[in-house]
Structures are given as C-alpha cells and as structure tokens.
Amino acid sequence: MKIKKPHLLFFLFFIGILFSCKEEETPNTDALCYQYNTKATEFLGQNQWDSAYYYYNQSKNEALDKKSEQYAYTLLQIATMLQANGDLSGCEETLTEALANYNGTTYLPYFYNLLAIAYDKQKDYDHALTFYNKALEVTTDPLNIAIVQNNIGLVYLQKKAFFCK
C-alpha cells in the first residue's frame, strides 16, 4: 500500500494555514469613540455644528458600553447641541436615553439641568422645577449649585410666583 505524499503535504499545509489565520481584531471602541469626540469638539470650537454633530453621532453609534462615561459625555454633547438649535424634543429624547443607561454620577447634574432647561423653554415650569431640584440633589460643586439655583429663580420669575421669607 502506497501513501500518497501530496495529500499529506496538502493536509499539513491546510492545517498550517488554518492555525496561522487569526480572527480580525475589532477596534477598541472606547478609543474610537474618543477620537470621534475629539474631532467633534474641534468642529464645535470652529462653530461647525453640522460636522460636530456628525462626529458625536458617529461616537454614539460606535459605542458598545452604553453605561460608560464616554457614552454619557457624547449624549450630553448631542443634547446640548439639539437644545441650542431649538430641537427640544430631540434634546429630551437624548437625555432620557442618557439617564436610562447611565450609572455614574459625573454627568447627572448636567443631564438634569439641561432637561430642566428644555422643559423651561417649553413653558412646562413644574417639570423644569422637578429636574432643577434633582440637579441640586446630585451636585456638590458650588458653581453648579449657584447655576441651578439661579435657573430655579428664573422659573419662579416666569411663573410670576414671587414670595419672600
């Protein structure tokens, strides 16, 4: 019985190729999101809002960890841009998504304050006050406290709810 060596060589060659092939590595999405956010921030600094929005949205779409600080930052930036451009329902939707996913504390005061601003601009003062008060509950920074208290005062002025202690 004669063994055909070409088959054996082919088999060994095939096994060698099989084990030498590596699965393609997926890019580090945190690093990719950071790059998109950096690019977006550059465009924002140049008042190129459409390009900034594009890159923040790319970062949002690439993020795998929806509970990360990076994802929260991205959503905060998108919501801020939407609010500044008058898309209050888009801002509210984005912040609702952020609050549903975020487990941290760093961005909570900003989420609540921006959400309150969106309600305030829609003249929904009661919801605005609710979220301003939530922002006060989660912040310890004196500047942020002053900003939120100022915003609360403005809501009471708009409601014409004047009171003295």
**57-95 pLDDT, tens digit each:** 999 998 888 888 889 999 999 999 999 999 999 999 999
pLDDT of residue 31: 82
Task: Tell me: pLDDT of 25 over 50.
Answer: no
pTM above 0.75, yes or no: yes
pLDDT more than 90, % of the chain: 67
Inter-residue contact 131 to 108 (CB < 8 Å)? no
Q: Can you list the alpha helix ranges (DSSP code H) found in 63-124?
A: 69-84, 88-101, 108-121
Q: Which amino acid is at 66?
A: K
Task: Tell me: pLDDT of 54 over 90.
Answer: yes
Task: Tell me: pLDDT of 138 over 90.
Answer: yes
Task: Tell me: pLDDT of 18 over 60.
Answer: no
109-165 folds as 1.25.40
Inter-residue contact 106 to 90 (CB < 8 Å)? no
pLDDT of residue 23: 40
CATH 1.25.40 given to domain 27-104: yes
Inter-residue contact 109 to 147 (CB < 8 Å)? no
Q: How do the domains of the chain map onto residue ranges?
A: 27-104, 109-165
* Main-chain dihedrals φ then ψ at residue 26, nearest 5 degrees: -80, 145
Domains 27-104 and 109-165 agree in fold: yes
pLDDT of residue 33: 85
Planar angle of CA 94, 99, 105, nearest 5 degrees: 130
Inter-residue contact 92 to 82 (CB < 8 Å)? no
Q: Which amino acid is at 55?
A: Y
Higher pLDDT, 6 or 61: 61
